[in-house]
Amino acid sequence: MEKLLIEPTRSSPRIRFDGQAHLLEVTGESYPEDAAMFYRPVFEWLTRYLEGLAAGVEVRVKLDVNYFNSSTSKIFMDLFELLDDHVRAGKTIVAEWISHEENDMGIEFGEEFQECVTDLPIHVVTRA
Amino acid sequence: MEREGIFGKEEGFLKEARAFLNEEREREIAVCGNTFCPKPHLDTYEGLLSRYDALLTGYEKLQRKLGVMMRISDKQQLKINNTNQELTEAKEQLERRNEFIRNIFGRYVSDDVVDSLLDSPEGLSLGGEKRDVTILMSDLRGFSAISDSYSPESVMGMLNIYLDEMTEVIESHHGTIDAFIGDGILVMFGAPVAMSDHPQRAVACAVGMQLAMERVNRRNVAAGYPEIAMGIGINSGSVVVGNIGSARRSKYTMIGMNVVHASRIESYTIGGQVLISSETRERCGEVLAIRRELQVIPKGYKEAITIHEVAGIGAPYGLHLPTPAGVDCCLLSSPVPVCFAVVHDKQVEHWLTDGEIVGTGKNLVFLRSERELESLVNLRLLLTGEEGSGLEVLAKVQDRVDSGCQVYRVAITHASTEAEGFLAQLQGG
Protein backbone atom coordinates (compact mmCIF):
# COMPACT_ATOMS: atom_id res chain seq x y z
CA MET A 1 0.00 0.00 0.00
CA GLU A 2 1.27 3.44 -0.90
CA LYS A 3 2.47 5.71 1.83
CA LEU A 4 0.42 8.72 2.80
CA LEU A 5 2.58 11.81 3.11
CA ILE A 6 1.18 15.27 3.80
CA GLU A 7 3.66 18.06 4.41
CA PRO A 8 3.03 20.35 7.37
CA THR A 9 1.78 23.91 7.09
CA ARG A 10 1.52 26.63 9.71
CA SER A 11 -1.89 25.28 10.73
CA SER A 12 -1.75 21.61 9.85
CA PRO A 13 0.50 18.75 10.95
CA ARG A 14 2.82 16.47 9.02
CA ILE A 15 1.10 13.17 8.23
CA ARG A 16 3.34 10.17 7.61
CA PHE A 17 1.49 6.89 7.28
CA ASP A 18 3.73 4.03 6.20
CA GLY A 19 1.75 0.87 5.51
CA GLN A 20 4.94 -1.17 4.95
CA ALA A 21 6.50 -0.20 8.27
CA HIS A 22 3.06 -0.17 9.93
CA LEU A 23 3.92 3.16 11.44
CA LEU A 24 1.44 6.04 11.39
CA GLU A 25 2.66 9.45 12.57
CA VAL A 26 0.96 12.83 13.03
CA THR A 27 3.36 15.62 14.05
CA GLY A 28 3.04 19.38 14.47
CA GLU A 29 0.12 21.70 15.13
CA SER A 30 -3.43 21.20 13.95
CA TYR A 31 -5.91 24.02 13.52
CA PRO A 32 -6.85 23.81 9.84
CA GLU A 33 -9.70 25.99 8.64
CA ASP A 34 -11.70 22.87 7.75
CA ALA A 35 -10.50 19.99 9.90
CA ALA A 36 -12.96 17.50 8.37
CA MET A 37 -11.72 18.22 4.87
CA PHE A 38 -8.05 18.12 5.87
CA TYR A 39 -8.37 14.74 7.62
CA ARG A 40 -10.72 13.15 5.04
CA PRO A 41 -7.88 11.55 3.00
CA VAL A 42 -6.30 10.40 6.26
CA PHE A 43 -9.42 8.49 7.24
CA GLU A 44 -9.88 7.11 3.74
CA TRP A 45 -6.30 5.82 3.70
CA LEU A 46 -6.56 4.47 7.25
CA THR A 47 -9.87 2.68 6.65
CA ARG A 48 -8.47 0.94 3.56
CA TYR A 49 -5.25 0.09 5.39
CA LEU A 50 -6.96 -1.33 8.47
CA GLU A 51 -9.39 -3.40 6.43
CA GLY A 52 -6.50 -5.01 4.56
CA LEU A 53 -4.32 -5.43 7.64
CA ALA A 54 -3.27 -9.01 8.32
CA ALA A 55 -3.81 -10.45 11.77
CA GLY A 56 -0.80 -10.49 14.08
CA VAL A 57 0.86 -7.42 12.60
CA GLU A 58 1.48 -4.71 15.17
CA VAL A 59 0.63 -1.19 14.10
CA ARG A 60 2.09 1.77 15.94
CA VAL A 61 0.28 5.10 15.80
CA LYS A 62 2.13 8.17 17.12
CA LEU A 63 0.53 11.55 17.63
CA ASP A 64 2.84 14.40 18.61
CA VAL A 65 0.61 17.44 18.26
CA ASN A 66 1.34 20.19 20.73
CA TYR A 67 -1.49 22.48 19.70
CA PHE A 68 -4.84 21.62 18.15
CA ASN A 69 -8.27 23.17 17.92
CA SER A 70 -11.61 21.78 19.05
CA SER A 71 -12.48 20.36 15.61
CA THR A 72 -9.20 18.48 15.58
CA SER A 73 -9.92 17.06 19.03
CA LYS A 74 -13.13 15.58 17.62
CA ILE A 75 -11.20 14.18 14.65
CA PHE A 76 -8.63 12.61 16.98
CA MET A 77 -11.41 11.00 19.01
CA ASP A 78 -12.88 9.58 15.81
CA LEU A 79 -9.43 8.30 14.89
CA PHE A 80 -8.99 6.60 18.25
CA GLU A 81 -12.52 5.19 17.98
CA LEU A 82 -11.77 3.72 14.57
CA LEU A 83 -8.59 2.15 15.90
CA ASP A 84 -10.48 0.98 19.00
CA ASP A 85 -13.08 -0.77 16.79
CA HIS A 86 -10.32 -2.59 14.93
CA VAL A 87 -8.59 -3.63 18.15
CA ARG A 88 -11.90 -5.11 19.29
CA ALA A 89 -12.07 -6.89 15.95
CA GLY A 90 -8.71 -8.56 16.67
CA LYS A 91 -6.09 -6.17 15.22
CA THR A 92 -2.98 -5.29 17.19
CA ILE A 93 -2.66 -1.52 17.41
CA VAL A 94 -0.76 0.57 19.94
CA ALA A 95 -1.19 4.35 20.08
CA GLU A 96 1.18 6.88 21.60
CA TRP A 97 0.16 10.38 22.59
CA ILE A 98 3.45 12.29 22.75
CA SER A 99 3.83 15.53 24.64
CA HIS A 100 6.66 17.70 25.92
CA GLU A 101 7.51 16.87 29.51
CA GLU A 102 6.80 20.44 30.62
CA ASN A 103 3.48 20.59 28.80
CA ASP A 104 1.15 19.47 31.59
CA MET A 105 -1.90 20.31 29.54
CA GLY A 106 -0.68 18.18 26.63
CA ILE A 107 -0.28 15.24 28.99
CA GLU A 108 -3.80 15.80 30.35
CA PHE A 109 -5.20 15.78 26.80
CA GLY A 110 -3.66 12.34 26.27
CA GLU A 111 -5.38 11.16 29.43
CA GLU A 112 -8.68 12.55 28.18
CA PHE A 113 -8.33 10.58 24.95
CA GLN A 114 -7.66 7.43 26.96
CA GLU A 115 -11.18 7.79 28.36
CA CYS A 116 -12.71 7.69 24.87
CA VAL A 117 -11.59 4.15 24.11
CA THR A 118 -12.14 0.79 25.72
CA ASP A 119 -9.66 -1.55 24.04
CA LEU A 120 -7.06 0.54 22.25
CA PRO A 121 -4.00 1.14 24.43
CA ILE A 122 -3.06 4.86 24.33
CA HIS A 123 0.28 5.46 26.02
CA VAL A 124 1.02 9.00 27.11
CA VAL A 125 4.71 9.50 26.36
CA THR A 126 6.73 12.56 27.34
CA ARG A 127 9.72 13.93 25.50
CA ALA A 128 12.38 16.35 26.65
CA MET B 1 -17.54 6.29 4.66
CA GLU B 2 -18.81 9.70 3.68
CA ARG B 3 -17.78 12.44 6.07
CA GLU B 4 -19.49 15.76 5.54
CA GLY B 5 -18.13 17.55 8.59
CA ILE B 6 -16.58 16.69 11.90
CA PHE B 7 -19.98 15.34 13.02
CA GLY B 8 -20.62 13.51 9.72
CA LYS B 9 -20.51 10.11 11.36
CA GLU B 10 -23.09 11.03 13.99
CA GLU B 11 -25.28 12.68 11.38
CA GLY B 12 -25.13 9.44 9.44
CA PHE B 13 -26.48 7.53 12.45
CA LEU B 14 -29.33 9.95 12.91
CA LYS B 15 -30.22 9.95 9.22
CA GLU B 16 -30.35 6.18 9.18
CA ALA B 17 -32.45 6.06 12.36
CA ARG B 18 -34.87 8.66 10.99
CA ALA B 19 -35.26 6.76 7.70
CA PHE B 20 -35.94 3.54 9.59
CA LEU B 21 -38.54 5.23 11.80
CA ASN B 22 -40.36 6.68 8.78
CA GLU B 23 -40.32 3.31 7.06
CA GLU B 24 -41.75 1.59 10.16
CA ARG B 25 -44.55 4.14 10.46
CA GLU B 26 -45.57 3.56 6.87
CA ARG B 27 -45.53 -0.19 7.41
CA GLU B 28 -47.65 0.13 10.60
CA ILE B 29 -50.21 2.20 8.74
CA ALA B 30 -50.31 -0.35 5.93
CA VAL B 31 -50.84 -3.27 8.36
CA CYS B 32 -53.13 -1.76 10.98
CA GLY B 33 -54.79 1.02 9.08
CA ASN B 34 -55.91 3.87 11.27
CA THR B 35 -56.77 1.59 14.18
CA PHE B 36 -54.56 1.36 17.24
CA CYS B 37 -52.01 -1.45 16.82
CA PRO B 38 -50.09 -2.01 20.05
CA LYS B 39 -47.54 -4.60 18.74
CA PRO B 40 -45.50 -4.36 15.62
CA HIS B 41 -44.45 -7.44 13.70
CA LEU B 42 -41.95 -9.51 15.60
CA ASP B 43 -39.16 -9.29 13.00
CA THR B 44 -39.67 -5.53 12.78
CA TYR B 45 -39.66 -5.23 16.56
CA GLU B 46 -36.25 -6.97 16.76
CA GLY B 47 -35.01 -4.72 14.02
CA LEU B 48 -36.36 -1.72 15.92
CA LEU B 49 -34.51 -2.72 19.07
CA SER B 50 -31.33 -3.20 17.10
CA ARG B 51 -31.70 0.21 15.53
CA TYR B 52 -32.54 1.76 18.87
CA ASP B 53 -29.46 0.18 20.38
CA ALA B 54 -27.24 1.55 17.59
CA LEU B 55 -28.74 4.99 18.00
CA LEU B 56 -28.31 4.91 21.76
CA THR B 57 -24.70 3.72 21.47
CA GLY B 58 -23.96 6.43 18.96
CA TYR B 59 -25.56 9.02 21.21
CA GLU B 60 -23.56 7.81 24.22
CA LYS B 61 -20.34 8.05 22.24
CA LEU B 62 -21.30 11.47 21.03
CA GLN B 63 -21.99 12.61 24.57
CA ARG B 64 -18.62 11.24 25.72
CA LYS B 65 -16.80 12.90 22.86
CA LEU B 66 -18.63 16.14 23.48
CA GLY B 67 -17.57 16.02 27.12
CA VAL B 68 -13.92 15.45 26.17
CA MET B 69 -14.11 18.14 23.51
CA MET B 70 -15.50 20.66 25.96
CA ARG B 71 -12.86 19.88 28.57
CA ILE B 72 -10.09 20.14 25.97
CA SER B 73 -11.62 23.31 24.60
CA ASP B 74 -11.87 24.82 28.10
CA LYS B 75 -8.25 23.99 28.79
CA GLN B 76 -7.13 25.43 25.46
CA GLN B 77 -9.15 28.56 26.23
CA LEU B 78 -7.49 28.79 29.64
CA LYS B 79 -4.09 28.42 27.99
CA ILE B 80 -4.93 31.17 25.50
CA ASN B 81 -6.17 33.43 28.30
CA ASN B 82 -2.99 32.85 30.28
CA THR B 83 -0.88 33.52 27.21
CA ASN B 84 -2.86 36.70 26.53
CA GLN B 85 -2.34 37.79 30.13
CA GLU B 86 1.40 37.15 29.82
CA LEU B 87 1.48 39.05 26.53
CA THR B 88 -0.38 41.99 28.07
CA GLU B 89 2.03 42.08 31.00
CA ALA B 90 5.02 41.80 28.65
CA LYS B 91 3.60 44.60 26.50
CA GLU B 92 3.07 46.81 29.54
CA GLN B 93 6.59 46.09 30.73
CA LEU B 94 7.94 46.88 27.26
CA GLU B 95 6.00 50.14 27.18
CA ARG B 96 7.39 51.06 30.62
CA ARG B 97 10.91 50.27 29.41
CA ASN B 98 10.38 52.29 26.24
CA GLU B 99 9.07 55.18 28.29
CA PHE B 100 12.09 54.93 30.58
CA ILE B 101 14.45 54.85 27.56
CA ARG B 102 12.61 57.80 26.05
CA ASN B 103 12.83 59.80 29.28
CA ILE B 104 16.50 59.12 29.93
CA PHE B 105 17.86 58.65 26.42
CA GLY B 106 15.66 61.42 25.08
CA ARG B 107 17.53 63.95 27.17
CA TYR B 108 20.56 63.31 25.01
CA VAL B 109 19.09 62.58 21.60
CA SER B 110 16.02 63.83 19.80
CA ASP B 111 12.68 62.03 19.82
CA ASP B 112 13.33 61.10 16.18
CA VAL B 113 16.44 59.14 17.14
CA VAL B 114 14.67 57.41 20.02
CA ASP B 115 11.71 56.50 17.78
CA SER B 116 14.04 55.28 15.06
CA LEU B 117 15.98 53.11 17.52
CA LEU B 118 12.85 51.73 19.17
CA ASP B 119 11.36 50.90 15.77
CA SER B 120 14.56 49.23 14.55
CA PRO B 121 16.63 48.02 17.51
CA GLU B 122 19.22 46.80 15.02
CA GLY B 123 20.05 50.51 14.69
CA LEU B 124 21.73 50.19 18.08
CA SER B 125 24.47 48.09 16.55
CA LEU B 126 27.71 49.89 16.05
CA GLY B 127 28.51 50.88 12.53
CA GLY B 128 27.88 53.70 10.15
CA GLU B 129 26.65 54.82 6.80
CA LYS B 130 27.22 57.78 4.50
CA ARG B 131 24.36 60.20 4.56
CA ASP B 132 23.58 63.50 2.96
CA VAL B 133 22.79 65.90 5.79
CA THR B 134 22.82 69.54 6.76
CA ILE B 135 24.93 70.44 9.75
CA LEU B 136 24.09 73.35 12.03
CA MET B 137 26.67 74.61 14.49
CA SER B 138 25.77 77.31 16.99
CA ASP B 139 27.96 79.06 19.51
CA LEU B 140 27.49 81.84 22.02
CA ARG B 141 29.66 84.84 21.27
CA GLY B 142 32.06 85.71 24.06
CA PHE B 143 30.56 83.21 26.45
CA SER B 144 33.94 81.92 27.63
CA ALA B 145 34.72 85.42 28.87
CA ILE B 146 31.26 85.67 30.49
CA SER B 147 31.72 82.35 32.24
CA ASP B 148 34.94 83.64 33.82
CA SER B 149 33.05 86.57 35.34
CA TYR B 150 30.12 84.67 36.88
CA SER B 151 29.67 81.96 39.48
CA PRO B 152 29.46 78.36 38.24
CA GLU B 153 25.77 78.28 39.27
CA SER B 154 25.04 81.39 37.22
CA VAL B 155 26.93 80.01 34.22
CA MET B 156 24.92 76.78 34.42
CA GLY B 157 21.74 78.82 34.90
CA MET B 158 22.46 80.85 31.76
CA LEU B 159 23.36 77.77 29.73
CA ASN B 160 20.27 75.88 30.83
CA ILE B 161 17.97 78.76 29.83
CA TYR B 162 19.74 78.98 26.48
CA LEU B 163 19.81 75.23 25.79
CA ASP B 164 16.22 74.81 26.96
CA GLU B 165 14.94 77.38 24.46
CA MET B 166 17.19 76.16 21.64
CA THR B 167 16.30 72.50 22.12
CA GLU B 168 12.63 73.31 21.73
CA VAL B 169 13.24 75.16 18.46
CA ILE B 170 15.55 72.43 17.13
CA GLU B 171 13.11 69.65 17.92
CA SER B 172 10.24 71.57 16.37
CA HIS B 173 12.24 71.58 13.11
CA HIS B 174 13.09 67.85 13.50
CA GLY B 175 16.79 68.46 13.99
CA THR B 176 18.83 65.84 15.81
CA ILE B 177 21.08 67.29 18.47
CA ASP B 178 24.43 65.59 18.02
CA ALA B 179 26.13 67.28 20.95
CA PHE B 180 26.14 70.18 23.35
CA ILE B 181 29.73 71.37 23.16
CA GLY B 182 29.94 73.74 26.09
CA ASP B 183 27.89 76.69 24.92
CA GLY B 184 27.78 75.34 21.38
CA ILE B 185 25.18 73.05 19.82
CA LEU B 186 25.90 70.65 16.97
CA VAL B 187 22.75 69.62 15.14
CA MET B 188 22.14 67.38 12.12
CA PHE B 189 19.21 67.41 9.76
CA GLY B 190 18.57 64.37 7.55
CA ALA B 191 19.73 61.65 9.94
CA PRO B 192 18.79 59.31 11.40
CA VAL B 193 15.45 60.13 9.82
CA ALA B 194 16.02 60.94 6.15
CA MET B 195 14.40 64.13 4.85
CA SER B 196 14.76 65.59 1.40
CA ASP B 197 14.39 69.20 2.57
CA HIS B 198 17.07 69.13 5.27
CA PRO B 199 18.89 72.28 4.03
CA GLN B 200 15.72 74.39 4.24
CA ARG B 201 14.79 72.90 7.61
CA ALA B 202 18.24 73.67 9.00
CA VAL B 203 18.16 77.30 7.83
CA ALA B 204 14.61 77.75 9.13
CA CYS B 205 15.72 76.25 12.43
CA ALA B 206 18.71 78.63 12.60
CA VAL B 207 16.50 81.66 11.98
CA GLY B 208 14.05 80.33 14.57
CA MET B 209 16.89 79.91 17.05
CA GLN B 210 18.03 83.50 16.52
CA LEU B 211 14.49 84.76 16.99
CA ALA B 212 14.23 82.69 20.18
CA MET B 213 17.26 84.50 21.62
CA GLU B 214 14.92 87.33 22.55
CA ARG B 215 13.14 84.95 24.95
CA VAL B 216 16.50 83.70 26.21
CA ASN B 217 17.63 87.21 27.05
CA ARG B 218 14.31 88.14 28.66
CA ARG B 219 14.73 85.15 30.98
CA ASN B 220 18.40 86.00 31.53
CA VAL B 221 17.64 89.57 32.51
CA ALA B 222 14.84 88.40 34.82
CA ALA B 223 17.31 86.05 36.50
CA GLY B 224 19.97 88.72 36.83
CA TYR B 225 22.18 87.31 34.09
CA PRO B 226 23.70 89.28 31.19
CA GLU B 227 22.25 89.22 27.70
CA ILE B 228 23.97 86.81 25.36
CA ALA B 229 24.24 86.50 21.60
CA MET B 230 24.65 83.52 19.34
CA GLY B 231 26.18 82.89 15.94
CA ILE B 232 25.18 80.00 13.68
CA GLY B 233 27.06 78.33 10.83
CA ILE B 234 25.45 75.86 8.44
CA ASN B 235 26.79 73.49 5.80
CA SER B 236 25.29 70.65 3.73
CA GLY B 237 26.98 67.55 2.41
CA SER B 238 27.94 63.96 2.95
CA VAL B 239 28.98 62.72 6.38
CA VAL B 240 29.36 59.38 8.10
CA VAL B 241 26.60 58.82 10.66
CA GLY B 242 26.02 55.98 13.07
CA ASN B 243 26.53 54.71 16.56
CA ILE B 244 30.11 55.38 17.33
CA GLY B 245 31.83 54.17 20.47
CA SER B 246 32.20 50.91 22.29
CA ALA B 247 29.68 48.18 23.05
CA ARG B 248 29.34 49.68 26.57
CA ARG B 249 28.88 53.27 25.55
CA SER B 250 28.02 54.49 22.13
CA LYS B 251 26.50 57.58 20.65
CA TYR B 252 24.66 58.38 17.46
CA THR B 253 26.82 61.02 15.84
CA MET B 254 28.33 62.26 12.57
CA ILE B 255 31.86 62.61 11.34
CA GLY B 256 33.38 64.22 8.28
CA MET B 257 34.96 67.27 6.74
CA ASN B 258 31.55 68.78 6.16
CA VAL B 259 31.09 68.97 9.94
CA VAL B 260 34.41 70.81 10.26
CA HIS B 261 33.32 73.10 7.43
CA ALA B 262 30.14 74.05 9.32
CA SER B 263 32.23 74.78 12.40
CA ARG B 264 34.61 77.00 10.41
CA ILE B 265 31.69 78.95 8.96
CA GLU B 266 30.25 79.40 12.45
CA SER B 267 33.54 80.91 13.62
CA TYR B 268 32.96 83.88 11.29
CA THR B 269 29.64 84.84 12.84
CA ILE B 270 28.83 87.60 15.23
CA GLY B 271 25.86 87.56 17.56
CA GLY B 272 22.55 87.30 15.75
CA GLN B 273 24.05 86.08 12.49
CA VAL B 274 23.35 82.96 10.44
CA LEU B 275 26.07 82.18 7.91
CA ILE B 276 25.70 79.34 5.44
CA SER B 277 27.92 77.62 2.90
CA SER B 278 27.42 77.95 -0.86
CA GLU B 279 26.33 74.30 -0.90
CA THR B 280 23.49 74.97 1.54
CA ARG B 281 22.48 78.15 -0.26
CA GLU B 282 22.35 76.37 -3.61
CA ARG B 283 20.25 73.54 -2.22
CA CYS B 284 17.82 75.89 -0.51
CA GLY B 285 17.18 77.75 -3.74
CA GLU B 286 15.07 80.85 -4.09
CA VAL B 287 13.34 80.44 -0.76
CA LEU B 288 16.27 82.11 1.02
CA ALA B 289 16.75 85.82 1.55
CA ILE B 290 20.48 86.54 1.60
CA ARG B 291 21.80 89.71 3.17
CA ARG B 292 25.34 89.58 1.80
CA GLU B 293 28.15 87.33 0.63
CA LEU B 294 31.63 87.21 2.11
CA GLN B 295 34.89 85.71 0.96
CA VAL B 296 36.95 84.09 3.71
CA ILE B 297 39.90 81.73 3.93
CA PRO B 298 39.25 79.43 6.91
CA LYS B 299 42.10 77.86 8.82
CA GLY B 300 43.56 74.95 6.87
CA TYR B 301 41.99 76.06 3.58
CA LYS B 302 44.17 77.06 0.66
CA GLU B 303 41.57 79.03 -1.21
CA ALA B 304 38.89 81.47 -0.25
CA ILE B 305 35.35 80.25 0.15
CA THR B 306 32.13 82.19 -0.13
CA ILE B 307 29.80 82.30 2.83
CA HIS B 308 26.33 83.81 2.81
CA GLU B 309 24.56 85.77 5.51
CA VAL B 310 20.93 84.72 5.83
CA ALA B 311 18.28 87.38 6.22
CA GLY B 312 15.36 84.97 6.29
CA ILE B 313 13.55 82.06 4.67
CA GLY B 314 10.26 82.25 2.81
CA ALA B 315 7.22 79.97 2.65
CA PRO B 316 6.36 77.62 4.16
CA TYR B 317 8.53 78.83 7.03
CA GLY B 318 8.16 82.59 6.67
CA LEU B 319 10.89 83.40 9.18
CA HIS B 320 12.98 86.54 8.94
CA LEU B 321 15.70 88.02 11.07
CA PRO B 322 15.23 91.63 12.14
CA THR B 323 16.83 94.06 9.73
CA PRO B 324 19.93 95.53 11.37
CA ALA B 325 19.31 99.07 12.38
CA GLY B 326 21.19 101.61 10.31
CA VAL B 327 24.53 102.34 11.80
CA ASP B 328 23.95 105.29 13.98
CA CYS B 329 27.52 106.40 14.13
CA CYS B 330 28.69 108.68 16.84
CA LEU B 331 32.02 110.18 15.92
CA LEU B 332 34.15 110.88 18.93
CA SER B 333 35.68 114.31 19.41
CA SER B 334 38.62 112.66 21.09
CA PRO B 335 39.51 109.21 19.72
CA VAL B 336 40.10 106.56 22.38
CA PRO B 337 43.50 104.88 22.09
CA VAL B 338 43.53 101.09 22.05
CA CYS B 339 45.87 98.30 21.23
CA PHE B 340 44.62 95.05 19.81
CA ALA B 341 45.61 91.51 18.99
CA VAL B 342 44.13 89.28 16.31
CA VAL B 343 42.58 86.05 17.65
CA HIS B 344 42.85 82.91 15.54
CA ASP B 345 41.01 79.84 16.80
CA LYS B 346 40.85 81.29 20.28
CA GLN B 347 44.65 81.77 20.25
CA VAL B 348 45.58 85.40 20.79
CA GLU B 349 48.59 86.47 18.75
CA HIS B 350 51.53 87.59 20.81
CA TRP B 351 52.00 91.09 19.52
CA LEU B 352 49.75 94.09 19.95
CA THR B 353 48.92 96.66 17.31
CA ASP B 354 48.06 100.24 18.11
CA GLY B 355 44.83 101.80 16.95
CA GLU B 356 42.10 104.14 18.10
CA ILE B 357 38.34 104.09 18.42
CA VAL B 358 37.08 107.02 16.35
CA GLY B 359 33.38 106.36 16.65
CA THR B 360 30.80 104.13 18.31
CA GLY B 361 27.41 102.65 17.42
CA LYS B 362 25.07 100.06 18.86
CA ASN B 363 27.22 97.06 19.68
CA LEU B 364 30.03 98.27 17.47
CA VAL B 365 32.99 100.59 17.35
CA PHE B 366 34.84 102.22 14.47
CA LEU B 367 38.48 101.31 14.72
CA ARG B 368 41.23 103.17 12.89
CA SER B 369 44.39 101.20 12.37
CA GLU B 370 47.28 101.22 9.97
CA ARG B 371 47.22 97.44 9.98
CA GLU B 372 45.30 95.69 7.20
CA LEU B 373 42.44 93.72 8.75
CA GLU B 374 40.38 91.12 6.97
CA SER B 375 36.63 90.95 7.38
CA LEU B 376 35.42 88.64 10.14
CA VAL B 377 38.75 88.53 11.94
CA ASN B 378 38.37 88.34 15.70
CA LEU B 379 40.05 91.01 17.79
CA ARG B 380 40.90 91.46 21.42
CA LEU B 381 40.82 95.20 22.10
CA LEU B 382 42.53 96.69 25.11
CA LEU B 383 41.70 100.27 26.01
CA THR B 384 44.89 102.20 26.75
CA GLY B 385 43.73 105.80 27.25
CA GLU B 386 43.62 107.53 30.60
CA GLU B 387 39.93 106.80 30.92
CA GLY B 388 38.93 103.17 30.66
CA SER B 389 42.49 102.01 30.78
CA GLY B 390 42.81 98.26 31.02
CA LEU B 391 39.22 97.51 29.93
CA GLU B 392 38.93 94.66 27.40
CA VAL B 393 36.54 94.09 24.54
CA LEU B 394 36.22 91.09 22.23
CA ALA B 395 35.16 92.05 18.74
CA LYS B 396 34.94 90.97 15.12
CA VAL B 397 35.88 93.06 12.11
CA GLN B 398 32.89 93.57 9.84
CA ASP B 399 34.24 95.61 6.98
CA ARG B 400 36.33 98.59 6.08
CA VAL B 401 34.33 101.81 6.14
CA ASP B 402 36.66 103.80 3.96
CA SER B 403 39.67 102.41 2.19
CA GLY B 404 41.33 105.79 2.29
CA CYS B 405 41.49 106.27 6.02
CA GLN B 406 41.81 102.66 7.27
CA VAL B 407 38.68 102.75 9.46
CA TYR B 408 36.99 99.44 10.20
CA ARG B 409 33.52 98.71 11.44
CA VAL B 410 34.05 96.27 14.35
CA ALA B 411 31.20 94.38 16.02
CA ILE B 412 31.53 93.90 19.75
CA THR B 413 31.10 90.23 20.62
CA HIS B 414 31.76 90.59 24.31
CA ALA B 415 32.46 93.42 26.71
CA SER B 416 32.65 93.36 30.47
CA THR B 417 30.02 95.40 32.30
CA GLU B 418 32.61 98.11 32.96
CA ALA B 419 33.70 98.19 29.33
CA GLU B 420 30.08 98.22 28.17
CA GLY B 421 29.41 101.15 30.49
CA PHE B 422 32.44 103.02 29.25
CA LEU B 423 31.50 102.54 25.57
CA ALA B 424 27.91 103.58 26.28
CA GLN B 425 29.25 106.70 27.95
CA LEU B 426 31.31 107.47 24.86
CA GLN B 427 28.26 107.05 22.66
CA GLY B 428 26.16 109.23 24.94
CA GLY B 429 28.80 111.89 25.28
- CATH number for the domain including B378? 2.30.110.10
- CATH number for the domain including B120? 3.30.70.1230
Q: How many domains, chain B? A: 3
- Among residues A76, A109, A118, A49, the alpha carbon closest in space to that of B57 is found at A118
- Beta-carbon separation of B69 and A43 below 8 A: no
- Beta-carbon separation of A105 and B75 below 8 A: yes
B343 with B248, same domain: the answer is no
Chain B residue whose CA is closest to A69? B73
B68 with B121, same domain: the answer is no
Q: A102-111, B54-63, B244-253: lowest mean pLDDT where?
A: B244-253
Alpha-helical runs (H) found in A1-128: 35-51, 70-88, 104-114
Each residue of B137-191: pLDDT tens digit? 999 987 887 888 889 999 999 999 999 999 999 999 989 898 888 889 999 999 8
- Beta-carbon separation of A40 and B79 below 8 A: no
For residue B293, the enclosing domain spans 112-320
- Dihedral angle sign, alpha carbons of residues B44, B49, B50, B55: positive
B311 with B360, same domain: the answer is no
Helix, coil or strand: residue B390: coil
Residues of chain B neighbouring A108 (CB-CB closer than 8 A): 75
B61 with B155, same domain: the answer is no
The answer to whether position B98 is within a domain reads no
- Beta-carbon separation of B76 and A70 below 8 A: yes
Residues of chain B neighbouring A115 (CB-CB closer than 8 A): 64, 68
For residue A20, the enclosing domain spans 4-127
B211 with B159, same domain: the answer is yes
Phi/psi at A117 (5° precision): -120, 160
How much is the ipTM here?
A: 0.73
B337 with B386, same domain: the answer is yes
Q: How many domains, chain A? A: 1
B210 with B131, same domain: the answer is yes
B301 with B382, same domain: the answer is no
- Beta-carbon separation of B73 and A35 below 8 A: no
Per-residue pLDDT of chain A (128 residues; tens, 9 = 90+): 789 999 999 999 999 999 999 999 999 999 998 999 999 999 999 999 999 998 889 999 999 998 899 899 999 999 999 999 999 999 999 999 999 998 888 999 999 999 889 999 999 999 98
B304 with B270, same domain: the answer is yes
pLDDT at B121: 62
| Element of type H or E holding B170 | helix B152-172
Q: Domain ends where: B41, B65, B83?
A: B83
Chain A residue whose CA is closest to B61? A116
Other CB atoms within 10 Å distance of the CB of residue A80: 22
Q: Is A113 on the interface with B (CB under 8 A)?
A: yes
Each residue of B74-128: pLDDT tens digit? 888 888 888 888 999 999 998 888 887 776 666 556 666 677 666 766 555 556 7
Beta strands in B278-363 (DSSP E): 288-296, 305-313, 319-320, 330-344, 347-348, 353-361
Nearest Cβ partner of A73 from B4, B69, B79?
Answer: B69
B313 with B359, same domain: the answer is no
The answer to whether position B102 is within a domain reads no
- CATH number for the domain including A69? 3.30.750
Q: Mean of the pLDDT values across residues B276-304?
A: 89
Q: What is the percent of chain B with per-residue pLDDT over 90, rounded to a whole number? A: 32
First to last CA, chain B: 117
B278 with B182, same domain: the answer is yes
